[in-house]
Amino acid sequence: MNGGVPLVKNICCIGAGYVGGPTMAVIAAKCPEITINVVDVNQKRVSDWNSEDLANLPIYEPGLSEIIEIARNRNLFFSNEIAKKISEADMVFISVNTPTKTKGLGAGLASDLRWVESCARQVAEFAKERTIVVEKSTLPVRTAQVIKSILDSSTSKIDQDKKIKSFSVLSNPEFLSEGTAIDDLEFPDRVLIGGEDKLAIEALTNIYLNWVPKTKIITTNLWSSELSKLIANAFLAQRVSSINSVSAICEATGADVREVADAVGMDSRIGRNFLNTGPGFGGSCFKKDILNLVYICKYLGLEEVANYWEKVVEINTWQKKRISQKIVQNLFGTVAGKKIALLGYAFKANTNDTRETPAKTIAEDLIEEGAILAIHDPKVDVVNIQNDLGPEYKGIDYYQVNNGVWSYYDVIEEAVKGADAIIILTDWDIYRRINWDKITSLMRYPAWIFDTRLVINKENLNNNNLNLWQLGTTN
Ligand code: UDX
Ligand code: UDX
C-alpha cells in the first residue's frame, strides 16, 4: 500500500480471447514485477496459448508471438485453474465474450451477459480480502452495478484467511483493433478508467503508468466509461457505413469514392481515418455494440435515437447484399456452375478472425446461387470457414452446400485457375502485390474482377479483355 493505494502484484484475467490474451501479454511485458494469470474455461485455447510452437498460438496478431516468447512462464501464465488464480489475485480482469442474445428478452439486440455474471459469481466466491474487479469486456451501461450487486451479496463474505472480503469495480474498456492490437496496446490513444473508488483507480493507473504517459490516462465515472466504449465503436462503424453509402452514389454518378474520401478527409474536423469503403464492417464488436446501444435506447424510450443507430447496421447489411447482386448481375445474371475465386475471408487484414466477416454473407449468397467458390486466405483456418458455411464433404476438399460448392486453397494461382471471376474481400497486403496480368491469364474468359477493397491499381492492369469492377468507382 502507498497512501492507501493497493499495490497490485498479482493479476488474474478471466478470458484468454482476442482481448484478454494480447492485453495481458502487453501488461506482463511492461510490468515484469506483476504476476499475471490468464484463465479460460476452454482447455484447447489454454493449451494453444501454451504451445511450444509460437505459430500455434490461438490468435494471429503481428508482434504477439515475440511478446509471448519473452513473458510466458516468466510472469505470464495461461491455465484453466480459475478458482485458484482468482484467489491469488489482487486485481481480476473480466474479459469474456458478450455476444448478442439469441433468445428471450432483448433477443437480437441486447448483449448476453451470462458469462460476465458467472465470472462475477466466481470472483465473489473465490476472491481474497480485497479485490479490484476490472471490466475489460465491452458491456452495456450500468453493468458494473450488476457485477457489484453480485459481489456484495456474496454468500461467502470471509476469505480463506478468515478476512472480510471487499470489492471495487472499475471499467477499463479496451480500444485495441485486431491486426494492430500490440501497437494499440503499447501506444494507446488513451486509457480510460471509470470508477468510484479513487484508490482502486490509482492502483490501475499505476500499472499503465509503466508505459503510458499520464496525459493519456483519463478517469471518469463508471457509466461514462462504459458508455464511451459503446459510443466509440458506434462512431467508428457509422463512418464506415457513411462512406459505404457514398460508394453507391459514386458508382451511379462517376465520382470516385477514394477521391471523395481524400477530399472530405483533408478537412481536419473530419479526418481521413476510417473512410475506406469496403464490403461492410465485420468483427466481433461493431454490430453487437450498436445493437446493444439500440436496445438501451429503446429501453430508455428513446425510439428516434434507436432508429438512428439502427440505420448504421442496416446500411452495412445492404452493402454486402448489393455486392453479391452486382457480381451475379455482371456474370450474365447467373453464377450457377461458375468457378469464383474469393480472395480473403478474414473480416479485415492481419487477423485470422472471421467473426461477422462480410465474406461469410457474400459467400453464402453466391453458394445459394449455385457458384463453385474457391476460397483463399493467408491466415484463416479452414475449420472456421466450415463452421460458417456448413459443409457436406464431397472429397478432395470440396464441400457441397445448397446448390453450390466451396473449397479452400493455400495457393492463389490454384484458386484462380479456370475461374470466371475473382472477388477481393479482405485488404491483405499480398493481394496488393499480385501480378494481375499473370494471374488473370489463368482465368476463363470473359472474366471479371470484383475489387471491394480497392487494392488494384488499374494502371497496372494491361489485360484488355478483363472486366474490372471496383467498389465506389465506375471502373
Ligand atoms: C472481446 C471482449 O472481451 C468483448 O467484450 C467484446 O465485446 C468482444 O471482444 P474476445 O476476447 O474477442 O472478447 O472474445 P473471445 O475471443 O471469444 O474470448 C473470450 C474468452 O473467454 C474465450 O476464450 C472463452 O472460452 C472465455 N470464457 C468465456 C471463459 O473463460 N469463461 C466464461 O465463462 C466465458
Ligand atoms: C474495433 C475498434 O476499432 C476497436 O477500437 C474496438 O476495441 C473493437 O472493434 P476491430 O473490429 O478489431 O476493432 O477492427 P477495425 O479496424 O475497427 O475494423 C472493423 C471493420 O471495419 C473491419 O471489417 C474493417 O475492414 C472495416 N473498416 C474499417 C472499413 O471497412 N473501412 C475503414 O475505413 C475502416
Q: Which residues pair with 194 in a beta bridge?
A: 171, 220
For residue 233, pLDDT beyond 70: yes
Mean pLDDT over each residue of the chain, to the nearest integer: 94
Lowest model confidence (mean pLDDT) among 78-82, 175-179, 304-308: 175-179
Evaluate: CB of 281 within 6 angstroms of ligand 2.
yes
Phi, psi (deg, nearest 5) at residue 193: -125, 120
User: Quick one: DSSP state of residue 128?
Assistant: -
Residue 289 cell numbers, joined: 455494440
Q: For ligand 2, atom 34, name the residue with the nearest CA.
A: 274
Instruction: Please report, in angstroms and rounded to a whole number, the separation of the first and last CA atoms in the chain.
Output: 65
User: How far does Cα 196 stand from its chain's mean position?
Assistant: 29
Question: CB atoms < 10 A from the CB of 393, how many?
Answer: 10
User: How far does Cα 181 stand from its chain's mean position?
Assistant: 10
At 222, is the pLDDT very low, low, confident or very high (cuts 50, 70, 90)?
very high
Evaluate: CB of 356 within 6 angstroms of ligand 2.
no
Cβ pair 30, 188 in contact under 8 A:
no
For residue 298, pLDDT beyond 80: yes
CA distance 201 to 428: 40
At 240-255, the pLDDT tens digits run: 999 999 999 999 999 9
Cα 75 to Cα 19, 45, 420, 446, distances in angstroms: 18, 19, 53, 59
Rounded to an integer, the average pLDDT of 191-201 is 97
Cα 449 to Cα 4, 114, 272, 368, distances in angstroms: 64, 44, 27, 20
Evaluate: CB of 233 within 6 angstroms of ligand 2.
yes
- The structure's pTM equals 0.93
Radius of gyration of the chain (CA): 24
CA distance 464 to 314: 37
Residue 291 cell numbers, joined: 445493437
Asked if the peptide bond before residue 446 counts as cis, ω within 30 degrees of 0, the response is yes
Helical pair 143-152 and 222-253, crossing angle rounded to 10 deg: 150
- Residue in the structure block whose three cell numbers are 466504449: 229
Residue 297 annotated to the active site = no
Q: To the nearest 10°, the Cα dihedral for 51, 53, 56, 60?
A: 110
Evaluate: CB of 353 within 6 angstroms of ligand 2.
no
CA distance 241 to 105: 28
At 101, is the pLDDT very low, low, confident or very high (cuts 50, 70, 90)?
confident
CA distance 412 to 3: 61
- pLDDT given at position 99: 86
- Residue in the structure block whose three cell numbers are 482476442: 18
Cα 78 to Cα 38, 49, 52, 234, 457, distances in angstroms: 5, 7, 13, 32, 45
For residue 81, pLDDT beyond 90: yes
Lowest model confidence (mean pLDDT) among 159-173, 292-306, 393-407: 393-407
Helical pair 20-30 and 64-71, crossing angle rounded to 10 deg: 50
CA of 127 to the centre of ligand 1 (A): 21
Tell me the Ramachandran region of residue 17: left when phi exceeds 0, alpha when psi lies from -120 to 50, beta otherwise: beta
Q: Which ligand is nearest to the CA of 20?
A: 1
Give the residue among 109, 70, 86 at the shortest CA–CA distance from 167. Answer: 86
Rounded to an integer, the average pLDDT of 254-261 is 98
CA distance 418 to 414: 9
Rounded to an integer, the average pLDDT of 26-38 is 98
Phi, psi (deg, nearest 5) at residue 169: -110, 130
Mutate to test the pocket of ligand 1, among 46, 57, 96 (most ligand atoms within 8 A of CB): 96
Share of residues in the chain with pLDDT > 90 (%) = 83
Q: Which ligand is nearest to the CA of 18?
A: 1
Evaluate: CB of 40 within 6 angstroms of ligand 1.
yes
